[in-house]
Amino acid sequence: MNPMRAALVGIYRGIVLKRKLRGPAFPSWSPEFETLATLMHNYSKVSTLLPLAVQRQAATSLLRPTKATSATQYEPERVGSIRCEWFRKATSSRDRVFLYLH
């Protein structure tokens, strides 16, 4: 099993058990959302220890292909000295750009 998936499953099971014993920490949150929030909170403390390529592979292995992701082209680019990627569908308009900085 993928280590990221194993972590998610473990966190989810712990949250479900905790909710049964003590009730939800955040009543408006679903167990799934609380699992992701917990993972992101704890993962942010150690994420700099892993290369970005490893993090991306672990994260994308959790996703199931969809029509949108299957139709998306990923094109490596370089803007000045910064490596980046274009994510676009073949039918996308080239007149507009969404810039995401991470």
Q: What is the pLDDT of residues 1-47, one digit of tens each?
A: 677 778 888 989 999 999 999 998 889 999 988 988 888 888 777 77
Q: Are 45 and 37 in contact (CB under 8 A)?
A: no
Taking Cα atoms as reference points, which of 50, 49, 11 lies closest to residue 33? 11
Determine whether 15 is exposed, middle or buried from the number of CB atoms within 10 Å of its CB (0-12, 13-18, 19+): buried
Taking a C-beta distance cutoff of 8 angstroms, is the pair 10, 64 a contact? no
- Mind listing the pLDDT tens digit for each residue in 55-89? 777 777 777 777 777 788 888 888 899 888 888 88
